[in-house]
Amino acid sequence: MSRQIVLDTETTGLEPSQGHRIIEIGCVELIERRPTGNDFHQYLQPDREIDAGAVEVHGITNEFLADKPRFEDVVQDFMDYVQDAELIIHNAPFDVGFINAELQRLQNWDSLESYCSITDTLVMARKKHPGQRNSLDALCGRYDIDNSQRQKHGALLDAEILAEVYLAMTGGQSALFLDDADGESGSGEAQQIRRLPADRPALKIVRASKEEQEQHQQCLENLEKNSGIKSQW
């Protein structure tokens, strides 16, 4: 069973080496390239001010995060969630660098790469589309993926969008959420194959009547006459 986690983070700034912290983690789980609905989403109290430029990007403020848990409070749940999965990340060094900085602060955790494998979709996109813009927004335009709700960056929303981009870029299913039986989109649940019993009643065969066969033959003759080409049926 192939388990992939599409991951994105939002942060207080650009450099973990300068003490910047993670303030949001968003993850979307795919199993056999299908969404399961078992997502992970957490806002975090960073214990430092968020850069004004970062607030302009994601819109998350210190006031909003005041009552949120710290990374150390959720690290066990998060690491259990990503354990042994393939992480799909756009510009992976950025997010992995921040996560590893958080793990290093706690001292009793190894680097993220020790627990799961990592695939960088930015590297994939640059190989597939050399010389072109390969930001997440650019890839949405290239693969006709709706990102109209992305007024500001958000970790879970960006993870959902990246999941669609990844599926489109690697072939196969290109829509993250499939339509359900009522025509509603976005259930996010993996669809199971329903196998029919071997002893089920045989399907009824409805054969064309003599009149229907004659009408079909007349239609073919008219096609041949009008096109000048011999019918292959």
What is the number of other CB atoms lying within 10 angstroms of the CB of residue 129?
Answer: 14
What is the number of other CB atoms lying within 10 angstroms of the CB of residue 209?
Answer: 9
From the list 87, 105, 90, 88, the residue with the least C-alpha distance to 20 is 105
The residues near 201 (Cβ < 8 Å, ≥ 6 apart) are none
Active-site hit among 41, 90, 153, 216: 153
The residues near 194 (Cβ < 8 Å, ≥ 6 apart) are none
CA 1 to chain centre: 17
Indicate the SS3 state at residue 30.
strand
What is the number of other CB atoms lying within 10 angstroms of the CB of residue 187?
Answer: 15
* 41 labelled catalytic: no
What phi and psi values does residue 213 have, to the nearest 5 degrees? Answer: -65, -40
- The catalytic residue positions are 153
